[in-house]
Amino acid sequence: MHLVKSFAEGTILGSYSLEQAGEAKIKQWFEKLKMLRDVSQQVHKLDVAEMTEEMIKQSREKWQHQGWKWLTASQTKFQHSPLVPAL
């Protein structure tokens, strides 16, 4: 769990400016956070999924002024689903 938070704080939530990272890199970091959330949910690591969802929310808040459609698309949060089998 700490690795996910360290990743987010060292990348998308870090002190990088748009000029330093660029939109493509920020989008890549954002997609990785979403992937980590989804995988965590699938393997029933709900504490990790919840924490990652919080990092996604913070990322959206930090970068929302850019107006990127990909940042606000598909804002559905993860759901506790007993239908997703453990891997």
Q: Give the separation between CA 65 and CA 87, rounded to whole angstroms.
A: 38
Helix (H, G, I), strand (E, B) or coil at 81: coil
Range of the domain at 52: 2-14+22-71
Q: What are the tens digits of pLDDT across the range 11-56?
A: 999 999 999 999 999 999 999 999 999 999 999 999 999 999 999 9
Total structural domains within the chain: 1
Buried b (16+ CB within 10 A) or exposed e, 10-20: ebbbeeeeeee
Does 32 fall in a domain?
A: yes
Does 82 fall in a domain?
A: no
Using the predicted structure, report yes or no on whether residue 10 has a pLDDT greater than 70.
yes
Q: Looking at residue 77, what is its pLDDT?
A: 54
Does 61 fall in a domain?
A: yes
What's the average model confidence in pLDDT over 54-69?
Answer: 95
Backbone angles phi, psi at 16, to 5 degrees: -65, 140
Does 37 fall in a domain?
A: yes
Mean of per-residue pLDDT scores for the chain: 87
Q: Give the separation between CA 70 and CA 30, rounded to whole angstroms.
A: 9
